[in-house]
């Protein structure tokens, strides 16, 4: 066993101790090389339970937050998942180990390109990427509609509630996990769509994310620094 494997096992054990119970989620975390998704200068922190900067004011999320969000989705291998906020692709990679297919949108073109390259290098064939406005959901491409989705995960915070378009793209019976609230007062929430116009909402944990913003970011533009923290 090499040093990276030992660190990965210690991370999984710490997540279990912190309350992550879903063994499929823990297995996915163990199988994903987190070091592949972070800058070379931060490699020594790859398997620490902390968020790590990836540029443009973004971070690769704290493993506990990734695990908690993934666990709340209640995934299985039949699900089609929409992710808003690809970053360099770590969360999408974790999802891809559990569900059937992941569709992921990133508004920063440089990060989108890095994620695409990461997925290619790791041989991940069940992830489809798009550089676009995640607030509008997944668009119809070449006349093909992918919505509705079984699950939706949002890695940026809406001010009051997730965009209506994302709620529309969630299948009845589906689950969306998203942070909601202003900076310093954000709560990770779980939305269970019960009918075309009703859904049950439950709180998961306090978090801190960048705001959910429209449009494709201008080259080199930074969002407010993303830093998920537990209250």
CATH of the domain at 155: 3.40.50.150
Does 222 map to a domain?
Answer: no
pLDDT at 67: 98
Measured between alpha carbons, how far is residue 37 from residues 11, 33, 153, 163 in Å?
16, 8, 19, 28
What's the domain count of the chain? Answer: 1
pLDDT at 221: 62
Q: Give Dmax over CA atoms of the chain in angstroms.
A: 51
Q: Which residue positions in the chain have pLDDT lower than 50?
A: 225-231
Does 87 map to a domain?
Answer: yes
Confirm if 94 and 36 have CB atoms less than 8 A apart.
Answer: no
Can you give the pTM of this predicted structure?
Answer: 0.93
Measured between alpha carbons, how far is residue 227 from residues 51, 61, 157, 189, 204 in Å?
6, 8, 12, 17, 17
Does 69 map to a domain?
Answer: yes
Angle at 158 (CA atoms; ends 156, 159), nearest 5 degrees? 135
Measured between alpha carbons, how far is residue 6 from residues 2, 10, 100, 164 in Å?
6, 6, 29, 43
Angle at 46 (CA atoms; ends 229, 99), nearest 5 degrees? 80
Does 124 map to a domain?
Answer: yes
Does 36 map to a domain?
Answer: yes
pLDDT at 154: 98
Does 193 map to a domain?
Answer: yes
Q: Which residues does the annotation mark as catalytic?
A: 61
pLDDT at 57: 86
pLDDT at 83: 98
Does 154 map to a domain?
Answer: yes
Does 218 map to a domain?
Answer: no
The pair of structure tokens assigned to 36 is 């592949």
pLDDT at 223: 59
Can you give the residue range of the structural domain that contains 94?
A: 3-207
pLDDT at 220: 61
């Amino acid at each position: 066993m090499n040093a990276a494997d030992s660190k990965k096992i210690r991370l999984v054990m710490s997540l279990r101790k912190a309350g992550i119970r879903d063994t499929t989620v823990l297995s996915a975390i163990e199988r994903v090389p987190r070091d592949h998704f972070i800058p070379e200068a931060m490699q020594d922190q790859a398997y620490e339970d902390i968020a790590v900067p990836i540029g443009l004011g973004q971070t690769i999320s704290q493993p506990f937050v990734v695990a908690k969000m993934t666990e709340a989705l209640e995934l299985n291998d039949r699900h089609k998942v929409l992710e808003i906020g690809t970053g360099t692709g770590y969360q999408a990679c974790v999802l891809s180990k559990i569900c059937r297919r992941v569709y992921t949108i990133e508004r920063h073109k440089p990060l989108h390109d890095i994620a695409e390259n990461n997925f290619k290098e790791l041989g991940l064939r069940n992830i489809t990427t798009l550089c676009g406005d995640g607030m509008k959901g997944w668009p119809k491409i070449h006349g093909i509609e992918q919505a509705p989705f079984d699950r939706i995960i949002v890695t940026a915070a809406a001010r009051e509630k997730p965009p209506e378009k994302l709620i529309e793209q969630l299948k009845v019976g589906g689950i969306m996990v998203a942070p909601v609230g202003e900076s310093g007062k954000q709560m990770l929430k779980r939305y269970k769509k019960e009918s075309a116009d009703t859904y049950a909402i439950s709180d998961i944990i306090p978090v801190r994310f960048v705001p959910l913003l429209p449009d494709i970011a201008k080259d080199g533009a930074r969002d407010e620094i993303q830093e998920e923290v537990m209250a």
